[in-house]
């Protein structure tokens, strides 16, 4: 059964600090891994899409890494802002994706 596990479940950090979110996946077939940001009460917004051959991809202050050998990905947020408070969702698969439950990030002043 395809599974995507995200950790931590929730995280609180001070504004300006960095943080890293984790995603472990057991998905077949696998060709790409995605990170989404979902604000409360809104739809997910795509942050990064990586193929199995890519190791890292950046989108502004967001940097995703992928290790296809260990089936792990991380999302690093640099110099956090209050507007980064949201749920971050990892999805893995090929044409169809399996999604994790998300990590809820709270950035406090």
Partner 1 sequence: NAGVTQTPKFQVLKTGQSMTLQCAQDMNHNSMYWYRQDPGMGLRLIYYSASEGTTDKGEVPNGYNVSRLNKREFSLRLESAAPSQTSVYFCASSEGQGRLETQYFGPGTRLLVL
Is the torsion defined by CA of 14, 84, 51, 43 positive or negative? positive
Q: Return the range that interacts with partner 1 (CB under 8 A); candidates 11-19, 63-71, 73-81, 92-100.
A: 92-100
Pairing of strands 3-7, 19-26: antiparallel
**3-state SS, residue 84:** helix
Q: Return the range that interacts with partner 1 (CB under 8 A); candidates 16-24, 65-73, 74-82, 100-108.
A: 100-108
User: ∠ CA(41), CA(58), CA(28), 5° rounding?
Assistant: 75
- In the complex with partner 1, the residue whose CB is nearer, 14 or 39, is 39
Q: Which residue has 């795509």 as its token pair?
A: 46
Q: Rule CB under 8 A: is residue 31 a binding residue for partner 1?
A: yes
Please give the residues from 32 up to 61 whose contact with partner 1 meets the rule CB under 8 A.
32, 41-46, 49, 51
Listed residue (3, 9, 11) closest to 105, CA to CA: 11
Size of the site for partner 1 (CB under 8 A): 22
Interface residues with partner 1 (CB under 8 A)?
4, 31-32, 41-46, 49, 51, 89, 91, 94-102
């Amino acid at each position: 059964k395809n599974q995507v596990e995200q950790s931590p479940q929730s995280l609180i950090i001070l504004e300006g600090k960095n943080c890293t979110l984790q995603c472990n996946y057991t998905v077949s077939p696998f060709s790409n891994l995605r990170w989404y940001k979902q604000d409360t009460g809104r739809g997910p917004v795509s942050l990064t899409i990586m193929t199995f051959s890519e190791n890292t991809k950046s989108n502004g202050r967001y940097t995703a890494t992928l290790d296809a050998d260990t089936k792990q990905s991380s999302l690093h947020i640099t110099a956090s802002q209050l507007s980064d408070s949201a749920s971050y969702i990892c999805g893995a698969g090929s044409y169809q994706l399996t999604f994790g439950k998300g990590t809820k990030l709270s950035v406090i002043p």
